[in-house]
Amino acid sequence: MVQLEKNASASAAWPTALRPKVSAFILYLGLKDKVPGLTHHNLPFARDWRQNFAEILDQPQWPSDPSLYVCAPSVTDPDVAPPGQETCSLVPTAPGLTATPQQLEELTTRIIAMLQEHMDIPNLSQRIVYQRVFWGRDFSERYNNFRGSALGLAHTIRQTAILRPSNKSKKLKNLFYVGANTNPGIGMPIQLISAEPLSNASSATSRRRI
Ligand SMILES: Cc1cc2nc3c(=O)[nH]c(=O)nc-3n(C[C@H](O)[C@H](O)[C@H](O)COP(=O)(O)OP(=O)(O)OC[C@H]3O[C@@H](n4cnc5c(N)ncnc54)[C@H](O)[C@@H]3O)c2cc1C
């Protein structure tokens, strides 16, 4: 079916004209103690907002001064970390890029330093007991995501509504697509809407069989 349609998960075969939405560089950190003042959601923004967006959208490159999203679920849910310890992950917005292991290491070190400064966490690197990076290549290899995007096809005018890949196969009857790369688009609630045509079609088929 994938060969017939070149749709859904066959992302490597997709036309280069299609535009992916942003990727992400996610740093999962386990800290050995509690961080005073840390909240569940923390958003330290880039100093130069325009430059940050330019590096993501106009001239894709690793961000020089990224905006960070620091999520510390252990602040509100004690089950996600051992007692007295903290988990924390952060997602600097970044485009789907390539990187050598050394570049990834440099970026990780830079982000830990930024986190220490922006979030006011003294001696952060000494407090880390677990560390893992998940980035564009992982999104491609693990989830088959289109060009390392974290989210799927971008919502450009040419990739919206009837111009976005359809939920219904043009070639095979009763073949439907759901998910972020089809209509209406990206986001968990939107996936449920995207599943509606499939749900309606399968109930109609069941009704016909009765
Ligand atoms: C860091 C992050 C934060 C997000 N936060 C939010 C949020 O707060 N709110 C929100 O609404 N949305 C959020 N999203 C977006 C949301 O997660 C996605 O839009 C949604 O998960 C897309 O659902 P999907 O079913 O299309 O794809 P996925 O959830 O990616 O599921 C696709 C599945 O198909 C599997 N697969 C791929 N290829 C094959 C194959 N060939 N054979 C078998 N299996 C295959 C993959 O492994 C994967 O399990 C976030 C996304 C990310 C990455």
Distance from the alpha carbon of residue 151 to the mean position of ligand 1, in angstroms: 7
* Dist. CA 56–CA 163, nearest whole Å: 24
Taking the CA of residue 194 as reference, the ligand 1 atom at the shortest distance is 26
Domains and CATH numbers, the chain: 2-19+153-209 (no CATH), 23-143 (3.30.519)
Question: What is the model's pLDDT at position 173?
Answer: 84
pLDDT tens readout for residues 162-194 = 999 988 888 988 888 999 999 999 999 999 988
Distance from the alpha carbon of residue 189 to the mean position of ligand 1, in angstroms: 12
Distance from the alpha carbon of residue 119 to the mean position of ligand 1, in angstroms: 29
pLDDT tens readout for residues 101-124 = 998 999 899 999 998 998 888 899
C-alpha distances (whole Å) from 91 to each of 23, 24, 105, 183 are: 10, 6, 15, 26
* Residue type at position 156: T
Nearest to 136 by CA among 62, 72, 66, 68: 62
In degrees, to the nearest 5, what angle opens at C-alpha 125 toward C-alphas 119 and 129?
110
Provide the strand spans (E) within the chain.
Answer: 23-24, 26-31, 41-42, 70-71, 86-90, 93-94, 128-134
For the chain, how many helices (H) and strands (E)?
Answer: 7, 7
Tell me the mean pLDDT in the region 2-24. Answer: 64
Q: Copy the structure tokens of residue 124.
A: 């952060």
C-alpha distances (whole Å) from 164 to each of 18, 25, 92, 173, 184 are: 10, 26, 27, 19, 8
Residue 11 has pLDDT above 60, yes or no: no
pLDDT tens readout for residues 61-101 = 888 888 888 999 998 998 888 887 777 776 765 556 888 99
Pick the residue whose CA is nearest to atom 43 on ligand 1. 9
* Dist. CA 52–CA 185, nearest whole Å: 24
pLDDT tens readout for residues 121-151 = 889 999 999 999 999 999 999 999 988 899 9
